[in-house]
Amino acid sequence: MQQGVPLDEVKAPTHEFFERARSRLNREVPVGLTDFDAEVKIRGDLDLEPELWIKAGVKATKPAAVLVPIVARSEPQVLLTQRTPELKSHSGQIAFPGGRIEPGEGPLAAALREANEEVGLDSKFVEPIGYLDLYLTFSGFRILPLVAHVDPDYAMKVNPSEVADAFEVPLEFLMTPGNHQRLSRDWNGIERHYYAMPFQERYIWGVTAGILRNLYERIYAG
C-alpha cells in the first residue's frame, strides 16, 4: 500500500497482477477447510460484522472450491458465470466456476473439475497460482478460492444445465476500490452488509463480490 494512503484509495496496478499474485499467494491448503475449529483467517457473508455469525446461528460445514480465473490478455480479465435460474443454490447470480469438494478430492482438483464441467475450461489452459482466504456462506459452504492464470486462447463451452452465460470483466474495474459498494439488506431480522460491484448490465454481489474484495486486499494491501 502506498505510504499514508488509505487502502480504499489505492489504484490497483493490474498490469503487475500476476507478478504480485505469485509473490503473495501459495497453494498450501488451509487446515480450516476441513477442521472447523482451527484458528485461520476466514472471510464470509458476515465478515463485516463477525459477531453476527453467532446471532445468525450459521454453521458452514460443506467444503467447496471455486476457480478465480484471470485471463492473461493485454488488459487482464476475470472470467465469471451467471448461474441458471433453475439451480437450488444462488440461482441466477454471478459466480465463479466451482462447487462442492467431492470425497477423496482436493480443492485444486475440485476447482479445475468444476470449471471444466461448467464452462468447458480445459486445465491445460490453466496455471494455478494460489489460494485466497476461506470464505464462509449462509448456505453452509466453506469456500476455498483458487486464483489462476488462464491462457487467452482458452476455449469455452457453457453447460446450459448449470450456466446461463459466461463472460469476462476487466480486472482493473474489479480491483478499483471505488467500484466496491458496501450495501445492506435484512436477512431473518439481521442486517447483513455485503459488497456489490455492478458492471454494465451485470450485478456482481454477495459471495462473488466478497471474494473479489478479498483478492484486492490480498494482492494490493500492504
Residue with the larger pLDDT of the pair 154 and 86: 154
Residues 166-186, buried b or exposed e (16+ Cβ, 10 A)?
bebbebbbbbbbebbeeeeee
Looking at residue 3, what is its pLDDT? 40
pLDDT at 176 over 70: yes
pLDDT at 208 over 70: yes
The closest alpha carbon to 1, from 162, 202, 219, belongs to: 219
Taking a C-beta distance cutoff of 8 angstroms, is the pair 193, 48 a contact? yes
Looking at residue 140, what is its pLDDT? 84
Rounded mean pLDDT of the chain?
87
Using one digit for the tens of pLDDT, what is the confidence trace for 115-126?
Answer: 999 999 999 999
Q: What predicted TM-score, i.e. pTM, was given to this entire model?
A: 0.89
Segment 107-130 mean pLDDT: 98
Segment 45-71 mean pLDDT: 80
Residue by residue, DSSP assigns the chain as --TT--GGGPPP-GGGHHHHHHHH---PPPGGGT-TT----EEETTTTSTTHHHHHT----EEEEEEEEEE-SSS-EEEEEEE-TT-SSSTT-EE-SEEEPPTT--HHHHHHHHHHHHH---GGGEEEEEE--EEE-TTSEEEEEEEEEE-TT------TTTEEEEEEEEHHHHT-GGG-EEEEEEETTEEEEEEE--BTTB--BHHHHHHHHHHHHHHH--
Segment 138-162 mean pLDDT: 93
Looking at residue 195, what is its pLDDT? 92
Segment 157-177 mean pLDDT: 94
Using one digit for the tens of pLDDT, what is the confidence trace for 192-206?
Answer: 778 999 999 999 999
**Cell matching residue 61:** 460445514
pLDDT at 210 over 90: yes
Phi then psi dihedrals of residue 71, to 5 deg: -80, 125
Kindly list the structural domains of the chain, giving each domain's residue range(s) and its CATH number in brackets, ordered by start: 16-220 (3.90.79.10)
Segment 23-52 mean pLDDT: 82
Looking at residue 12, what is its pLDDT? 59
Using one digit for the tens of pLDDT, what is the confidence trace for 2-29?
Answer: 344 344 555 556 779 999 999 999 999 9
pLDDT at 90 over 80: no
Looking at residue 93, what is its pLDDT? 86
Q: What is the dihedral of CA 221, 114, 111, 121, to 10 degrees?
A: -70
Q: What amino acid occupies position 76?
A: P
